[in-house]
Chain A
């Protein structure tokens, strides 16, 4: 678990991520990602494969083995980079309470 807390200075890292969600991150962006991608298993965002290499639905992991993965209505993607950016924004808001699209 990361103890790092996002600050205004991290907006440049958010912009870096938006430009290339699957690229090789700078150390500063990696620190943000360690926080956003960290956290417990329960509720963790995952991509449920609807069609391999073509279409994915956002889901959340359950707390326990045996429980089903929750599918999130309306959160469907045909591009992995778009999915990464969407989840980045969701997690950013969960950590900061702020809407990243408005901040950038």
Chain B
């Protein structure tokens, strides 16, 4: 049981700036907090062990522990003025595409006082049938339901009406496509008291949820809702079962979700100004009922993208109150830090980077902290939800206390490797929530036999190595790279990546490419980098979008017609499908993954090229890295190799390569146009990590290892080994101002 959780309002800050820390405790009355510099988060007794450095800074504790809830589930809110007279008739209508009908009551459109129940709601009842409730308090009112469950993933026009004069309460569901023998069209009516006073309610109109007494919303809808409308008069059922015209008399509200797709706002087109906002980022830029394949980009035909996909497990911002603020000392050196919350035996880390003071560099080398990739894997449930994980890891999955917590607390939200409860892919991932798998000391699932680290904690292998070298370094987070552009890298002689910088925005990629074009030196010390295109939200902080269009190794495929990011309108998917293959930047690109054992590299002929002599000074070879904490070898987990057809520079030197992997390593879908036998690591030659070096036209250079596991071998024999020697050789030469001689020609 994890009794203390927290998150911060930012993931990167400069000295002198403030970070707001939000904490929730369960069964813990008091806790304390301190600031630590993260050095080596790997607790494997076979390695150097855990190491951090306390920062002498009083954060103001001890603090009183309090519980702050997480309310997952997306919905729309319209803080509406009175819509119509209290004793009015009523009409409600929406296109609906349910994805989990029958999974409890799910609201389509509501305005209901949570205490008294006064108001109305159009919803799917627990059986998944359309239902309408109108209540004026006490026993006055009633419910009518069709009794016919909707079929999942089919479009319906749902309508409901109340005739104040006759007391007729009617609800109907009309499928947009009918099938023989399938009876999912239905209408039901009953009579309730006339002139019910239900409309003058001090509650907001809510879309895809209804208000609750103990949380912001309940009975969330799973699926798509399009063009919800409210009518302040009665129309006969036949009229309600056709789309209402915008000129319809008595139209009180008519929301058009095709307007403002990148935003969190919803727009009322009735003329009554009943605009609203969305909570917890339901998915926008998705196909509506009218989509017919003529256009695949919502920017060009928004009318075909007038639906919003709501999920009962969407989560953007926990919106916890701040418990304390940390003002970073003016002289705090750049690095990776964490606020450590602790009480009794409980502790929880909230990591962030401290960048150098704005406009300055304080070290010759920058470590790019891949925070976009950390968000992409935030609270990843792959070991919990995906039964094949044991097969691809080649061993039993281990459940840490963090995993057990995630299993019983799914409300902490999902990431790009998870599916929503309705089976749809997760497009948005936020850091404004506790991220339980982004902590020093964390043990992952995919990190191979040994330490089994992934992303943040695996990257502390690099921090530990830099600290071992006493090498001064600055830390630049992905969000810094995105927001400030290439200027933030100016002044660094070398830039080092993390072990798995997989998720890149166009801004980040442009910044890094520009740095290289200007003579920078890049040490890509990982695997499967620069793979997926992501989009930062132009206004909302701390959230990215990724749609894994076309192909690539992915947990889901987006539906046809939904390959464009809602945040920005960018085409999504692999960077190699967007004209920017990682090979062009780093010389190599993703070719395979497997999560059992890693392999060594073997030096290739090009390792003897004078251009690369500096790399192998003091290295015996030819076998490199048949040891390590990440799978027992330096080449493993996810592998990159050269491909000249994908932009590997022609003068690239392949210095070393792994030669054999287990058959848990398989080719990537994007390389497997025509599957044939022999796709595994023991047979397919494409499955290899290639260590490469090349010079850039601006006098700089690139060194890439092509393996996530590489940095897990750095600390072997107290950093006295060929992997550490090669990496250090490259760093020393890259820090030397002397330009690299461009390749001949």
Enumerate chain B residues within 8 angstroms of A66, measured Cβ to Cβ: 407-410
A72 to chain B, nearest CB (A): 13
Enumerate chain A residues within 8 angstroms of B44, measured Cβ to Cβ: 53
Q: How far is the CA of A45 from the CA of B399 in the complex (A)?
A: 10
Q: Are the CB atoms of A68 and B407 closer together than 8 Å?
A: yes
The answer to whether the Cβ of B43 comes within 8 Å of any Cβ in the partner chain is: yes
Also in contact, A61 and B384, with CB within 8 A (given A37-B390, A47-B398, A68-B407)? yes
Also in contact, A68 and B396, with CB within 8 A (given A24-B597, A25-B662)? no
Q: How far is the CA of A34 from the CA of B388 in the complex (A)?
A: 9
Name the interface residues of B422-468: CB closer than 8 Å to any CB of A: 443, 449
Contact of B410 among A49, A65, A68 (CB under 8 A): A65
Q: Are the CB atoms of B400 and A49 closer together than 8 Å?
A: yes
Q: How far is the CA of A62 from the CA of B404 in the complex (A)?
A: 11
The answer to whether the Cβ of A22 comes within 8 Å of any Cβ in the partner chain is: yes
Q: Are the CB atoms of B43 and A39 closer together than 8 Å?
A: no
The answer to whether the Cβ of B391 comes within 8 Å of any Cβ in the partner chain is: yes
A29 to chain B, nearest CB (A): 10
B387 to chain A, nearest CB (A): 4
The answer to whether the Cβ of A100 comes within 8 Å of any Cβ in the partner chain is: no
Enumerate chain B residues within 8 angstroms of A25, measured Cβ to Cβ: 394, 662-663
CB < 8 Å A-B pair total: 83
Name the interface residues of B26-53: CB closer than 8 Å to any CB of A: 43-46
Q: Are the CB atoms of B407 and A30 closer together than 8 Å?
A: no
Name the interface residues of A15-43: CB closer than 8 Å to any CB of B: 22, 24-25, 27, 30, 33-34, 37-41
Contact of B397 among A24, A34, A46, A65 (CB under 8 A): A46
Q: Are the CB atoms of B410 and A46 closer together than 8 Å?
A: no
Enumerate chain B residues within 8 angstroms of A34, measured Cβ to Cβ: 391
Enumerate chain A residues within 8 angstroms of B408, measured Cβ to Cβ: 66-68
Classify the secondary structure of A's interface with B. loop
Enumerate chain B residues within 8 angstroms of A45, measured Cβ to Cβ: 396
Instruction: Count chain B CB atoms within 10 A of each CB in A30, A46, A83 and give the residue with the most.
Output: A46
Name the interface residues of A53-86: CB closer than 8 Å to any CB of B: 53, 56, 59, 61-62, 65-69, 80, 83-84
Among residues of A, the one whose C-beta sits closest to the C-beta of B393 is: A37
Q: Are the CB atoms of A41 and B399 closer together than 8 Å?
A: no
Q: Are the CB atoms of B597 and A38 closer together than 8 Å?
A: no
The answer to whether the Cβ of B401 comes within 8 Å of any Cβ in the partner chain is: yes
Q: Are the CB atoms of A69 and B387 closer together than 8 Å?
A: no
Q: Are the CB atoms of B395 and A40 closer together than 8 Å?
A: no
Contact of A38 among B388, B394, B407, B410 (CB under 8 A): B388
Q: Are the CB atoms of B399 and A52 closer together than 8 Å?
A: no
Q: How far is the CA of A103 from the CA of B193 in the complex (A)?
A: 76
Also in contact, A37 and B398, with CB within 8 A (given A53-B44, A65-B410)? no
Enumerate chain B residues within 8 angstroms of A49, measured Cβ to Cβ: 398-401, 443
Among residues of B, the one whose C-beta sits closest to the C-beta of A39 is: B387
A40 to chain B, nearest CB (A): 6
Q: Are the CB atoms of A65 and B662 closer together than 8 Å?
A: no
Q: Are the CB atoms of B387 and A56 closer together than 8 Å?
A: no
Enumerate chain B residues within 8 angstroms of A38, measured Cβ to Cβ: 387-388, 391
Enumerate chain B residues within 8 angstroms of A83, measured Cβ to Cβ: 396
Q: How far is the CA of A47 from the CA of B596 in the complex (A)?
A: 16
The answer to whether the Cβ of B671 comes within 8 Å of any Cβ in the partner chain is: no
A89 to chain B, nearest CB (A): 13
Q: How far is the CA of A41 from the CA of B396 in the complex (A)?
A: 13
The answer to whether the Cβ of B385 comes within 8 Å of any Cβ in the partner chain is: yes
Enumerate chain B residues within 8 angstroms of A62, measured Cβ to Cβ: 407
Q: Are the CB atoms of A47 and B399 closer together than 8 Å?
A: yes
Q: Are the CB atoms of B407 and A69 closer together than 8 Å?
A: yes
Enumerate chain A residues within 8 angstroms of B483, measured Cβ to Cβ: none
Among residues of A, the one whose C-beta sits closest to the C-beta of B386 is: A41
Q: How far is the CA of A37 from the CA of B386 in the complex (A)?
A: 12
Q: Are the CB atoms of B390 and A44 closer together than 8 Å?
A: yes
Q: How far is the CA of A56 from the CA of B663 in the complex (A)?
A: 27
Enumerate chain A residues within 8 angstroms of B178, measured Cβ to Cβ: none
The answer to whether the Cβ of B421 comes within 8 Å of any Cβ in the partner chain is: yes
B396 to chain A, nearest CB (A): 5
Also in contact, A65 and B45, with CB within 8 A (given A24-B597, A56-B398)? no
Q: Are the CB atoms of A87 and B43 closer together than 8 Å?
A: no
Enumerate chain A residues within 8 angstroms of B43, measured Cβ to Cβ: 52-53
Q: How far is the CA of A52 from the CA of B391 in the complex (A)?
A: 22
Q: Are the CB atoms of B387 and A44 closer together than 8 Å?
A: yes
Among residues of B, the one whose C-beta sits closest to the C-beta of A59 is: B399
Q: Are the CB atoms of A48 and B385 closer together than 8 Å?
A: no
Q: How far is the CA of A65 from the CA of B313 in the complex (A)?
A: 11
Name the interface residues of B375-395: CB closer than 8 Å to any CB of A: 381, 383-388, 390-391, 394-395
Also in contact, A48 and B391, with CB within 8 A (given A65-B410, A87-B396)? no
Among residues of B, the one whose C-beta sits closest to the C-beta of A44 is: B387
Among residues of B, the one whose C-beta sits closest to the C-beta of A54 is: B45
A49 to chain B, nearest CB (A): 5
Instruction: Count chain A CB atoms within 10 A of each CB in B45, B381, B597, B663 and give the residue with the most.
Output: B663
B681 to chain A, nearest CB (A): 9
Q: Are the CB atoms of B421 and A22 closer together than 8 Å?
A: no
Q: How far is the CA of A59 from the CA of B421 in the complex (A)?
A: 24
Q: Are the CB atoms of A65 and B421 closer together than 8 Å?
A: yes
A2 to chain B, nearest CB (A): 9
Contact of B404 among A30, A33, A68 (CB under 8 A): A68
Enumerate chain B residues within 8 angstroms of A68, measured Cβ to Cβ: 404, 407-408
Enumerate chain A residues within 8 angstroms of B421, measured Cβ to Cβ: 65
Given contacts A47-B397, A48-B399, A62-B407, 10 further A-B contacts (CB under 8 A): A25-B663, A27-B663, A30-B664, A41-B385, A44-B387, A49-B401, A53-B43, A65-B421, A66-B409, A84-B396
A–B complex contacts, Cβ < 8 Å, 7 sampled: A37-B390, A47-B396, A47-B397, A66-B408, A69-B407, A80-B395, A80-B396
Residues of A with Cβ closer than 8 Å to B?
A: 22, 24-25, 27, 30, 33-34, 37-41, 44-49, 52-53, 56, 59, 61-62, 65-69, 80, 83-84, 87
Can you list the 8 inter-chain pairs with the closest CB atoms, starting with the nearest? A65-B410, A41-B387, A37-B391, A37-B390, A48-B399, A47-B398, A47-B396, A49-B400
